Structures are given as C-alpha cells and as structure tokens.
Amino acid sequence: MIDPGWSAAVAFACVLVGDQVNRRLFGWLPDDPPRAGRKSHARPMTLAGALMAPAILLYCGLAELWLLAAAVAVVTAVGFEDDRRKELGDSLGESGLDWRWKALGLVAAAALVACEVAEPVTEPWLWSSLFALTFVITNAVNFLDNTDGVAAGIAGALLLLLGLGPLPPGPCQSVSLAAGFAALGFLPFNWPRPRVFLGDSGAYLLGICTSFAVAASAATELKWLLAATVPLADFTQVVLMRLWIGVPPWVGDRRHLTHIAQNLGLHRAAVAPVFAAIAVGTALIARVI
C-alpha cells in the first residue's frame, strides 16, 4: 500500500494542473459567478473540488473498497453537474441540477457507504442507521462550504483524526487518511486567499469520505458520533431556521454558524482554523471518554 500521505501531493498536483489547463487552455471547470446575497466574492471563482477525486479513488482502489469508490464517483459527478448548471443559471443562483436527481444520487451514495460498513441483510438496523447518518453528514459538510477553507479544513482534520484514532490499521484507515491528506492538498488553493472553491462536487466528495470515516468509527463505538458535532450542529440549526421562516432547506443563505461567527467579529480568514479546532476538540472528547 502506498503511504496515504502521498495523497496530499497527488491532490495538490491534480488541482494545480487542472486549474492551469482551465485558465490557460480551455475552460472545462464550472465557475461560481458573483451574485448578490450570500455570495461575497467579486469575480468568478473556479469550482475545482472534483480534482481531488483521482487521489481518493486511487486509494479506494488500492484498498479494494469498491463500494466507497462508487459512492465517491457518484457524488462527485452529481456535484459537478450541479455546479455546471448553476453557472448557467439565473442571477439569483436558484438553478442547478433538479433536486430529485441530486437526492437520488446522494441516497445511492449513502446506501453504498452503508453497505461498505454493515451488511444490510444481517444487520438491517445498523445498516439503516449508518445510511441515514451518511446522507446527513454528506449534506452537512456541503452546507459548511460557505466560507474559505471551512469545509476542507474540517473534513481534512476529522478524516486524519479518525484515521489515526478509532479506525484500526487496514483499508478503512488507509482511505480515511488518504482523503484527509487530499483535503490538506486542496486547502492552499482555498485558504486564506482563495484561488478556487470546492463547489458542490468537492464538498460532496469530502462529505461522503467524512461520513464513511464517522460511520466506520461509530459502528464499533457510538461515542465517535461526537466527531461530527460541528457539521451536524450547523446543519440542524440551519435547516430548522429555514423551515421556521418558510424557506426551502436547500436554498442557501447567510444563517450558518460560520456567518454568525463573522457577524460577531471573527475575521473571515480565522473562521476555518477556529471551526476546524472546534471540530477536532469535540472528536478528542470522544477519544478520552
């Protein structure tokens, strides 16, 4: 098995080369254009998170985790198509892939991850719980992709911590570490001065990997659900608030915990390290109890 640390170099190289090809030769990556409301960037930003997929799929193949590889491919493709359609959408950014197709893809990916961790026939209750957990965490990580470096920083930190903690040596540990290092390889392009964004493709990609690591850890010891405290807390409060005011839960806004922190005076560049530190802290609590 190739050392998982090399995943950072592979991901960094893929993003660097892919971004240069996109900028200098032909624009094959979707852009996130400036829009009023929750968008704060002044120029179109390339959505390049999908370029981490080769690094992660490489280790899925080496570990022979084929169901996880399929899940990674599905969410990356769904996210990429969603990003592409949003670029061509209206000025309010309310277009994108039809929510039913998006939900179908995420459900299929969550089912594949649950099958990688538990047997649906002999362990139906465990499988059902892990399926629901995977679906929610994948979306929760995507929700956190609203401020430079937050989603990549939190996902990378949790994947590395879980890989070095509860996951025993073997395929699950190797892929979790590789995905965590891939997130770190992407991070210099996204924080503190972003050159590219994750986009839905990259956020779903890191989300499905994070949910796999949490599911594999929680399947043995339930306490490791604490590792997902930050994404789950943000996801829960945002969804409840949107339902309370009558807004569809999937319509983006500036009601996330990261936005609240900025409104209270936290510098934008400090948001990612602060939230990553909180996420690591909650995971470390699980480690000591």
DSSP letter assigned to residue 118: S
Distance of CA 101 to the CA centre of its chain: 19
Evaluate whether residue 233 is within a structural domain. yes
**DSSP letter string, 150-174:** HHHHHHHHHHHHHHHTTSPTTHHHH
**DSSP letter string, 222-284:** GGGGGGGHHHHHHHHHHHHHHHHHT--TTS--S-SHHHHHHHTT--HHHHHHHHHHHHHHHHH
Evaluate whether residue 113 is within a structural domain. yes
What type of residue is 77?
Answer: A
pLDDT tens-digit readout, 20-59? 999 999 999 999 887 665 566 778 899 999 999 999 999 9
Long-range own/partner contacts, residues 277-280 (CB < 8 A, 24 or more apart): 278/230, 279/154, 279/157, 279/158, 279/227, 279/229, 279/230, 279/231, 280/157, 280/158, 280/161
Evaluate whether residue 278 is within a structural domain. yes
Evaluate whether residue 271 is within a structural domain. yes
Claim: this prediction has a pTM higher than 0.85 = yes
pLDDT at 92: 46
Domain hosting 33: range is 6-288
CA–CA gap between residue 171 and residue 179 (Å, rounded): 12
Number of domains in the chain: 1
- Pair 150, 228: CB distance under 8 Å: no
What type of residue is 126?
Answer: L
pLDDT tens-digit readout, 232-275? 999 999 999 888 988 887 777 788 999 999 999 999 999 999 99
Evaluate whether residue 1 is within a structural domain. no
- By three-state DSSP, how is residue 45 classified? strand
